[in-house]
Amino acid sequence: SQKIEQNSEALNIQEGKTATLTCNYTNYSPAYLQWYRQDPGRGPVFLLLIRENEKEKRKERLKVTFDTTLKQSLFHITASQPADSATYLCALRGGGNKLTFGTGTQLKVEL
Amino acid sequence: NAGVTQTPKFQVLKTGQSMTLQCAQDMNHEYMSWYRQDPGMGLRLIHYSVGAGITDQGEVPNGYNVSRSTTEDFPLRLLSAAPSQTSVYFCASSSSDRIAEAFFGQGTRLTVV
């Protein structure tokens, strides 16, 4: 069956460091992958999309990589700030154009 | 610009009661979806719609009904609430472009006692 896996353990890092979150998938052949941010009590908000022919995509302090051979995407936040603390979700569209999400990884950036 | 609006924000139901969660979007999006989010389970797709008059089941459809009579509205009906339906419910919409981002409502926190 199709699966999207993210590290369920929270990631705690110090302010100023780079946070790296992982998204692994099985039984998908995605043409692209999306990343969202979710704050407590709110709906997810779209951050970035990366296509299969793009090895890397950047937006300000965010960087996403996409390795279709490894079936993995990495999401990096450089120079992290406490305001980056949130849960980050990756998502793929499968059959019928359904958007399926990973379980998300909670990031906590400490002073 | 309202985006995706969900009502109510909070609801407590007794087991066996029925109710409708409302979702409306003002972006003229073809696609609308309902997800539930439980601790450790992530967002799970309940039902989705690719346009007015067309709906289909997601991963966890049992106990829920949907209809899509207009492009703007996509209500989710709980037929006979059960404690297992205690969750946070999110409605989302997107255009029909496969790369389109999804826009989410603020969520409805439902407790079934």
- Tell me: the pLDDT tens digits for A17-29? 999 999 999 988 8
Chain A's closest residue to B91, CA to CA, is A43
Q: What is the mean pLDDT of chain B?
A: 95
Q: What's residue A94's pLDDT?
A: 76
Phi-psi bin for B99: left (phi > 0), alpha (psi -120 to 50), beta?
alpha
- Distance from the B29 Cα atom to the nearest Cα atom in chain A, whole angstroms: 14
pLDDT at B8 exceeding the cut of 90: yes
The stretch A13-17 carries a mean pLDDT of 97
- Tell me: the pLDDT tens digits for B26-41? 999 999 999 999 988 8
The stretch A96-110 carries a mean pLDDT of 91
In angstroms, the CA B18 to CA B74 distance is 17
In angstroms, the CA A11 to CA A100 distance is 22
Question: Any chain B CB within 8 A of the CB of A32?
Answer: yes
Chain B's closest residue to A103, CA to CA, is B42
Cα dist. A74→A20, A69, A77, B97 in Å?
A: 7, 13, 10, 24
Q: Between A41, A46, A51, which is nearest B102 by CB? A: A46
pLDDT at B96 exceeding the cut of 90: no
Look at chain B and count its residues: 113
Q: Between A34, A51, A89, which is nearest B101 by CB? A: A34
Question: Any chain B CB within 8 A of the CB of A28?
Answer: no
Within 8 A of A97 by CB-CB distance, chain B residues are: 31, 50, 96, 98
- Tell me: the pLDDT tens digits for B41-66? 889 999 999 999 999 999 999 999 99
Question: Any chain B CB within 8 A of the CB of A99?
Answer: yes
Q: What's residue A71's pLDDT?
A: 93
List B residues 7-46 in contact with A (Cβ-Cβ < 8 A): 31, 33, 35, 40-43, 45
Q: What is the pairing mode between strands A62-67 and A56-59?
A: antiparallel
Per-residue pLDDT band at B1 (split at 50, 70, 90): low
Per-residue pLDDT band at A105 (split at 50, 70, 90): very high
- Tell me: the pLDDT tens digits for A37-88? 999 999 999 999 999 889 899 999 999 999 999 999 999 999 999 999 999 9
Residues A23/A50, Cβ–Cβ less than 8 Å: no
Within 8 A of B58 by CB-CB distance, chain A residues are: 98
Q: What's residue A93's pLDDT?
A: 84
Please give the helix or strand (H or E) that residue A91 lies within, else none: strand A86-93
Mutate to test the interface with A, among B34, B37, B43, B99 (most CBs of A within 10 A): B43
In angstroms, the CA A13 to CA B38 distance is 25
Question: Any chain B CB within 8 A of the CB of A10?
Answer: no
Residue B73 CB-density burial (10 A; 0-12 exposed, 13-18 middle, 19+ buried): middle
Within 8 A of A96 by CB-CB distance, chain B residues are: 48, 50, 56
